[in-house]
Structure formats: structure tokens, C-alpha cells
Structure 1
Amino acid sequence: MTETIAPAILLNPIDDVAVARRAVKAGEATGIGDLNAAQPIPRGHKVALRAIPAGREVRKFGQVIGVATVDIGAGQHVHLHNLAVVASEHQHQYSVDIEETGMLPPDERRTFMGFDRGAGGVGTRNFIGIITTVNCSATVSKYIAEHFNRTGSLEGFGNVDGVVALTHGSGCAINTKSEGYTLLTRTLQGYARHPNFGGILMIGLGCETNQIAPILEHYKLEESDRLRTMTIQHLGGTRKTIEAASAMIREMLPAVNAATRTPQPLSGIKLALECGGSDGYSGISANPALGHASDLLVRHGGTSVLAETPEIYGAEHLLTRRAIRPAVAEKLMDRIDWWRRYTERNDAELNNNPSHGNKLGGLTTILEKSLGAVAKGGSMPLKAVYEYAEIVDEPGFVFMDTPGYDPVAVTGQVAGGCNVICFTTGRGSVSGFKPAPCIKIATNSEMYHHMQEDMDINCGDIVTGEDTIEAAGERIFESIIATASGKKTLSEEYDYGDNEFVPWHVGAVT
């Protein structure tokens, strides 16, 4: 960082706080007017720009992030000890900030090299998936996948990215008329249809509540050369199932291996927008840069999917203004209301977020976190709102209702058809999400260099003024195209991502 760069960043002229670019010592000039730090300000944390009386709202990003719980002096550290969340109460306006989309003419839109699955969409990878209907078939499924991935059984099939076992902890002791059952089966069928799979094998135990036949019937899935099913009890046990499943996969391999990449329009990309392990820089660097990349993708005909409903709470009014129709905004608000009821009946609150690591990184309230998280969605009109794991069929910028817990959120997005993931992180999240490649984007340079084996892109230079949101966004956009065309992410280089399939569990286990 050069000496000409101010130690603190003022994000909006009406803000009550600025953010420390680096650790600021007590008595040191902040670079914001003639304000000196009254006490040490950790990097990524907030410093008060003026005296803030107890009970007064505090603004960052030009928006309210909480209320002062005590009198705060100019130059003091603003964090958990003196700032608390307030209820998110906004006059929600619908469909008033719809900008010109700037869609490019078809002949000017970019392409990528993908696997054309016909009506099933376009794949960015070519895996074989093993889907478990119940936890009781998880061990068998993992064993089969390990056999193919670790013993050389895929030699000669270089166009196959691997065999993925999609295991989970549910599938029985669940009411088939419940919300939880709907979410689980919707997720499983979404993966069964996913274009990043060239072949699918669904394995059950046999006696579980979550039977294979009703899933196929309800979601109009048919067994074929691409989709096979079996149960352990019908086949006579674990060994016989492993043998039968292995034989089926060996039969699939030649056809899956024969798939080839061909030029495809960017309308074939559905991008999951995710943030995890956020810090005080997330809403300043990586998230708005990803938002710029999202806008570019949409202008080229692609789809980007924002999620994590608890992490837009307090910033949802920014999305309702961009809704393409009032009905879209109303559906978003319906999901916010559902979350209020859901947290209340579970003796929780939406401000259960931020996490421990978020707070260490400088985030104080869910309102502050949400304002930064929404930046991943860029500026394009909000075209649709989907419930968890619903198939995303509307091109453009859309929203999916998911929890804020990253593995559950991304599982829903991938079930909806997302075939590439961009994951911003300030603390250093390291998840992979087979079968979808995951691009990790660092919010700050210190963490990027410390965890360079896990981070694909660094946006930390935005914080120091050596990079711009637009330039970083263009790099992310180019990385999305390259990754969709087959370039491996670091998670893929190290073969991570086998354990992040986590369907959302809602309701009682009986």
C-alpha cells in the first residue's frame, strides 16, 4: 500500500463509519478529513466518523446497519460492544429501479466450450453421479465412487471427470406430506437432471420412507441408459449391490466418455453467487466485483443466481426495487416472512448471523452483512424468485430462497441447475461442490497469499486502491468462461468437493 492511500475507506458521504484498510493505531490519522483514531481499529473494522449518541441509527453503505447501544465518540472503534441490530423496517418499493438491461445483440455474445445435453441443458463438467435416497445407502455409494476414482478404473476414459457419491443424512423417519420431504426429493431430482452428469445411478436401501419410484413418478424421470436405479435389499446386500452398481457404471463409461465439448452460448451458464467466511472487506471488494461479473454474464445471455435469504435480510428493499414485476418482489417478501416465522418457531432470530469468523473480520450485524452480500447480485433487473432447489428456467438475474449455511445454499443452487459457482470469502472458505466447479475469490490480499493454494482470484487490491471493481469483475467474468470450458479450479486440482452435498433439512425426524 502506498503512503498516499488513506488508512480508512469512506463508502458513502452520509455514512457514520469508515472501514480500516489496515490496522490503525490509536492517535493515527485515518485519512478521512482531520479524524484521528481514538483507539486501535483492527483491519476491516469500523471507525466512527463523528460522535454518535446512544440510540441513534448508524449508517454504512448509505444504509442503516444498527443502532448505537452507548454513546460513541468520534474516532472510536464501532463493533459488537457498542452497536446492535435493529429490526429491518423499510418502505418496500417494487419495480422502481429497473435499469436498461444493456443486453448484447446475439452476434456479439461470447461462447464457451460445453457439453450439450439437449433439453437437459449444457454441462460444464462430465461426471457420473451416484445419488442416495437415504443415509442407509451412503456407505455403499461412497465405496463404489472410491473404487472408480482411486483404483485406476477410469483409465482409458479421460473425458470422464470422475464418479461422485451424493450422500446425505436423511431419507427416512420423514413425513412424505411434509415440507422437508418436498425439499429433499426436489433436490435429488435436480441433481438427477443436472447437465454436469453424463450418467446417474440412484441407490436406495429398499425399506426407507423416501422411495425411488415416487420420486421418478412425481418429477417425470424415466430410467434410461443415463439414469439407472437399484436398492440394496432387492439385490441381496452390500457386496452384491457394489458388484451390480460397478457393472452398471462400467456400462455407462463408454457413452459418457464419448461426450465432447462444443461451442455453446453463455445462455448455457447458470452461475451460483455465494459468499462464505465473509469479512469487513467482502462488501467493498470481492462481492461488488462479482456483481459486475454477474452483470456481464447476464448481458451475454447467461443466468446468475443469488441466494441465502437470511443474508439479504435488511437489504431486501434493494432487490424489490429491481424486481421486473411487482409479483416478483412480493414473492421475495413472502420468503422473508416465511423466515421470520421459521426462526421464531425454532426459538432463533435472523440476527443469529453473522458468524464468529464474520465478527472477527469486522462485521457486526446481519444488516451490515446483508448489504455487502447483496452486492454479489450486481445491478440487473430481478427476473424471478425460486424456492429451494426449484429448477431455474428464467434467464437473467434471479434469486433462490436458501439458508445462509454455505453447503446447504449451494446444494440448492446446483439442484436448480447452476453449473458454475463463484464463492467470495474473506476468512478463507475452502469448499468444493462436485459436480459444479467452484471459483474461490478472496476479498483481501493477506488471506489470498496466506491461503493461495485454495484461492483462485484475488480482489484485495481493490481495498488498497490498486485495482478497480470493474477490472476485477472482468477478470472474474473471464474466469467463469474459462472454467465453464474446462479449466480446473484449485478445488478441482486438489480433488475437493465430495462432501458438500447437504440438502436442506426442515421439520421433525420421527
Structure 2
Amino acid sequence: MSPHSAVIRIHPDDDVVIARRQLLGGEALAEEAGLRVSGLVPPGHKLATRDVAAGQPVRRYGQIIGHATQDIAAGQHVHVHNLAFARFERAHTPGADARAPAPVAEPARFMGIVRREADRAGQVATRNYIGILTSVNCSATVARAIADRFRRDVFPEALAGFPQVDGVVALTHGMGCATDAQGEELQVLRRTLAGYARHPNFAAVLVIGLGCETNQIQGLIEQEGLQVGERLQTFSIQDTGGTARTVALGVERIRAMLPAADRVQREPVPARHLTVGLQCGGSDGYSGLSANPALGAAVDRLVAHGGTAILSETPEIYGGEHLLTRRAASPAVADKLLARIAWWERYTARNGMSMDNNPSAGNKAGGLTTILEKSLGAIAKGGTTRLVEVYEYAQAVSARGFVFMDTPGYDPVSATGQVAGGANLICFTTGRGSAYGCAPSPSLKLSTNSALWRRQAEDIDIDCGRIIDGLASIDQIGEEIFQRMLATASGERSRSEQHGYGQAEFVPWQLGAVM
């Protein structure tokens, strides 16, 4: 992109261009055959390049992003006042663009932690935590109290002899009771908790309950086939005899777990052991032009090296799902994706909502108008290779390559599902700003614009705004992201880890009614 251009044209067939800076009324745009700006157009927002009649579709990325709600003249600002979401038929041609990853001469490697226990032999971790999970909200305070006893900033002596242990984290939630004992919500919660209990980034795990909750720990163990032993231990407050005794027992159990947890060393492993969850939050008009396609370029590299990338946030691919079905490795994979889209249409309808309730106020302030526009930019995170599988929320991801997991668009809930599925790294693009972290998996933050980088650099790992400024290409930043993935997987701490993010961001998907 030219650093001197006032606007960015994405596709020859587009009806709009994107402002690189504040555009003023009366300004002539040489790059668009002398198009003259009518009124103010903020950075990241859309400007019409031709007249569009009311009711006609408007295109960006060469795709429909909405329909004009009134006549739009060339040069006018295009946004919520004259553009709206409308349903339209999308043509699905499964597999038409299914492209195998390009072969690589020498597989990339990172310094990982190889798990050698019988029940998870060969799994590779990027971090080495001890985790405390709760069956129900009622045991959350106890879990946090136990973890607090091992905080390095408060009790440095607690982990002083265990340098290979990254920490002790309590992942608590607000669920586990007042729900259908045979229902989908409890099944999904248990699947999520089990995914964390098995996660390679946990050397060992405690599961703590109250005792009388619907989500009985024994039910969790049986549903998910978990094996209780030295690495996975459970108890409840009622059986232990109250808060103080439970905290003391938890501290004692973790102290006993620490020596084994510390007996690890990083070693070179192929990049195929890296599973990356793809997230975007606080998106703006630049997301689909810079950070998202740059992350997509990194994903193409990861997949070529045998790794796995998980695209999620089903409400944020809505309207662009036909682009993903074209990449499906088989008609069955395409059908799985379309089934999840249909589920979401029913889900939002019965809750009195619309798929266009997404984007958020911040997205719109940043230049995004409809979910169709947001989705087309979000899909760019997934790169260009074939879609090999579709998973439901928190299901274990076993396929290698580019996959999709059905999750909400709300970042903490979505990333929680990805980590439960096995993601040992998260990459998170943002245009408005984010301070998200995701224990036990590190999270890399990628800014879509350099203004955000300058304003919130303490939370951002890579500035992708250099693409908008014409200082770097998508491919160059994609290579930088891929190398940062490998470095972070090898132990380099992300900005969110430096700030201590990760425990409060564990948010399982609450599907059903609270009874």
C-alpha cells in the first residue's frame, strides 16, 4: 500500500474505498479518478466511489456487505446512516478453492515441553502451569485463595525452588448448578473443564467442588473419561470440612505436585506440535486490511509446517461462510459448517436477536457497519489453505491444518473453547485495543493500526499498522508473526503474560437457562 494514498481500494469491483486518514469535504482524490469527498469521512471508514441507489447491494472485498437504505452519491460517507444488513443468497461450491499447503524444505521448530506420561505421551506444551479448576462457582473463592498462596509477586518463596513451573492459576467460572442435569449446557461445561484438565500446558490439575452442586465431580470424571491420580486430584469443600481446611488441603496438594512439575526441560520440536487459536476483538475498518490477512499469512506458514490453526467465532464469519465452504476439504466438512450457521440462526431467533446484533459499538466507531463486512475481514485470519475439519465448542482438535470451531463471537468465551480443544497459543488481532490474556496458553496481540500501537504499546506484541502505512507488506508481517509464534511457544513471554492476564478470562459458554 502506498504511504501517500488517501484511500485504499481492496477490489476492482468494490463500491467503496477505505480512508487512510481523515478526509475533508471538497477534497479531490487523485487515486480514484478525481473523486471528490462530500462531508467528513473518519480514518478506517468507507467512502462511496459510485452512485448506489436505495435497496442496491454495496460491495467491499468484492463481496456484498449490506444494502443501501437510501440513495448514496459518489464521494459520500458510507456507514450506519445509509447502509444496513440484509439477507441474501450465498452460492456454495464446496471444495472449489480447497488448496493444499505449499511444501516446506525444512520444518520449523520451537523449544517445547514434551509430555511423557502414559495418558498423554507425545503431547507438547508451550507453558508449564499447575491449574486449579472448579466444578461450580461456589468453590471459586477457595480455588483463588489456594492459587494466591503461590503468587510469585506476593510469596516469592513459594515457587523459589521450582524455576520450570510458570505458576499456579485458578480458573473459575459462574456455572455448575441451577441447570438441567442431563442438558447440553452441563455436557458442554464438562467438556470444557476436561479439555483444560488434559491440556498439555498443565503439568498437574486440582478440581475443587462444593459437594452438592449439579456438576458433580464424579459425573465430570465419568462423562469425560478422566483418570484421577497424582496428576489430577479432586476434593470438595463439604467433604473436607469447610473453607480453611480446603484451602490448607489444596496448598498441601500443590506443594506435593511441584517437584514432578518442575522436572521438565524444553527441547526442539517440530512446529506441527503448535495449535494456534485465532481471535479478533475490538475490530475496526483496518482489521481486514492489515492484522487479519497478516495473521492469515502466518497461518499459511504454520499449516505448511504441519501445525494447526483454529478459526472460530461463528457469528463473525456469518455472511462469508460461502468463502470457507469453497475451501472445504470435502462436502461433509462444508455441511458441518453450514449446520452450525443454521444452528446460530435458530439460536438468535429464539432469543429475540439478529445475527447483525454483532458488530459492537466500538466496531462501528472504527468503521465497520454490518456483520457481513466484519465477517469478511475476520475470515482473513484463516489464511488460504483448505478447511480440513469443523468442531463443536471445546471438542478436542485432532486434525492438523486449518480447522474451524463453533464458538460465540465474545472473545473470552471463544478462546476458552479453543484452549479446551487444545490450542497452546492464541493470536489476537485488535483495532480498538485489547488487554486480553488466556492462561494456560500465551496470547499474542496484533494491532491493526499504528495509532493503536503508539497509544497502547504496553499491551500489543506486533504493530500490523505498518501495512496500512505502506512500510511493510502483508507477507513480511506474516513472517514476523510466524517467527513470534515460534518464539512465544519457546517460552518468550507475551505482553499479556507480563501483566498477569489469564485467570479471569476463563469463561465457558453458558448455553441454557439458569433455573
Aligned counterpart, 2:110: 112
Q: Deviations over 1:42-97 (max 9, x none)?
A: 00000000111111100000000000000111100000000000114212111111
Write the distance in 2 (CA, Å) between the matches of 1:324 and 1:103: 17
- Residue 8 of structure 2 corresponds to which residue in structure 1? 9
Q: Is the 8 A contact 1:6 1:32 kept in 2?
A: no
Per the alignment, residue 236 of structure 1 pairs with 241
In structure 1, the partner of 2:155 is 151
1:342 and 1:263 map into 2 onto residues whose CA distance is 45
For each residue in 1:6-25, what CA deviation from the matched residue of structure 2 results, as whole angstroms up to 9, or x when unmatched?
A: 10000000000000011111
- Cα distance between partner residues in 2 of 1:277 and 1:425: 5
| 1: CA distance, partners of 2:298 / 2:28 | 35
Residues 117-128 of structure 1 correspond to what in structure 2 (within 5 A)?
A: 117-118=115-116, 119=120, 121-128=123-130
* Number of the residue aligned with 1:138: 140
CA shift for structure 1 position 263: 1.1
What do residues 331-376 of structure 1 show as CA deviations (whole Å, max 9, x unaligned)? 0000000000000010001100000000000000000000000000
Paired with 1:435 and 1:135, the residues of 2 have a C-alpha distance of: 20
1:110 is matched by which residue type in structure 2?
Answer: A
What amino acid is aligned across from residue 114 of structure 1 in structure 2?
Answer: G
* One-letter identity of the residue aligned with 1:50: R
- Whole-Å separation in 1 of the counterparts to 2:289 and 2:442: 25
Q: How does 1:65-144 map to 2 (within 5 A)?
A: 65-104=65-104, 108-118=106-116, 119=120, 121-144=123-146
Q: Distance in 2 between matches of 1:212 and 1:430?
A: 33
Q: CA deviation at 1:98?
A: 1.3
Per the alignment, residue 36 of structure 2 pairs with: 36
Correspondences of 1:390-409 after superposition (within 5 Å): 390-409=395-414
Structure 2 counterpart of 1:503, one-letter code? P
CA contact (8 A) 1:103 1:298 kept: no
CA distance in 2, matches of 1:87, 1:294: 30
CA distance in 2, matches of 1:464, 1:59: 24
Is the alpha carbon distance of 1:25 and 1:476 closer, same or farther for their aligned partners in structure 2, counting shifts above 3 Å?
same
TM-score (norm 2): 0.97
1:370 to 367, 371, 375: 375
Contact 1:179–1:506, Cα closer than 8 Å, also in 2: yes
**CA contact 1:270–1:302 (8 Å) conserved in 2:** yes
Counterpart of 1:178 in structure 2 is: 183
Q: Tell me the CA shift for residue 29 of structure 1.
A: 2.4
* Structure 2 partner of 1:385: 390
State the one-letter code of the partner of 2:293: P
Unaligned 5+ runs, structure 1: none
Residue 115 of structure 2 aligns with an amino acid whose one-letter code is: R
SS in 1 for 2:149: helix
What's the counterpart of residue 443 of structure 1? 448
Q: Aligned-pair distance for 1:176?
A: 2.0
**1:353 paired residue among 353, 358, 370:** 358
- Structure 1 residues 262-271 or 41-50, which shifts more? 262-271
Q: Which amino acid aligns with 2:38?
A: A
**1:122 and 1:268 in contact (8 A); partners too:** yes
Match of 1:15, SS state, is coil
| Offset, 1:213 | 0.8
Give CA deviations for 1:461-487 in whole Å, capped at 9, x if unaligned.
Answer: 111221100000000000000000000
Code of the residue aligned with 1:102 in structure 2: it is A
Q: CA offsets, 1:85-128, max 9 Å, x none?
A: 011421211111112321335xx101111111143521000000
Distance 2:126 2:237 in 1: 32
Out of 407, 414, 418, the position equivalent to 1:413 is 418
The answer to whether the aligner puts 1:495 opposite 2:500 as a matched pair is yes
- Structure 1 residue 419, shift from structure 2 partner: 0.4
| Whole-Å separation in 1 of the counterparts to 2:224 and 2:141 | 26
C-alpha offsets along residues 108-164 of structure 1, whole Å, 9 cap, x if unaligned? Answer: 101111111143521000000000000000000001111111322111111111111
Partner AA of 1:164 in structure 2: V
Aligned equivalents of 2:89 and 2:175: distance in 1? 37
Contact 1:286 1:442 in 2 (8 A): yes
Corresponding position: 1:253 with 2:258: yes
Report the Cα distance in structure 2 between the residues aligned to 1:55 and 1:508, rounded to whole angstroms: 39
- Aligned with 2:459: secondary structure? coil
Distance between the aligned counterparts of 1:357 and 1:485, measured in 2? 34
Q: How many residues align?
A: 507
Check conservation: 1:271, 1:420, Cα contact below 8 A: yes
Alignment CA distance shift 1:116-1:235 (3 Å): same
CA deviation profile, 1:419-443 (whole Å, cap 9, x unmatched): 0000000000111011110000000
Structure 1 length as normaliser, TM-score? 0.98
Q: What is the SS of the residue equivalent to 2:218?
A: helix
Q: Which region of structure 1 is more displaced relative to structure 2, 458-467 or 396-405?
A: 458-467
Structure 2 CA distance, aligned partners of 1:395 and 1:104? Answer: 16
The residue type equivalent to 2:379 in the other structure is V
For the 8 Å contact 1:103–1:301, the answer to whether it is kept is no
Percent of aligned positions that are identical: 55
Q: Secondary structure at the match of 1:318?
A: helix
- Conserved in 2, the CA contact under 8 Å of 1:88 and 1:313? no
Aligned-partner Cα distance in 1 for 2:28–2:473? 24
8 Å contact kept, 1:26–1:40? yes
Q: Indicate the SS of the match to 1:453.
A: helix
Q: Which amino acid aligns with 2:356?
A: N
CA RMSD of aligned residues (A): 1.1
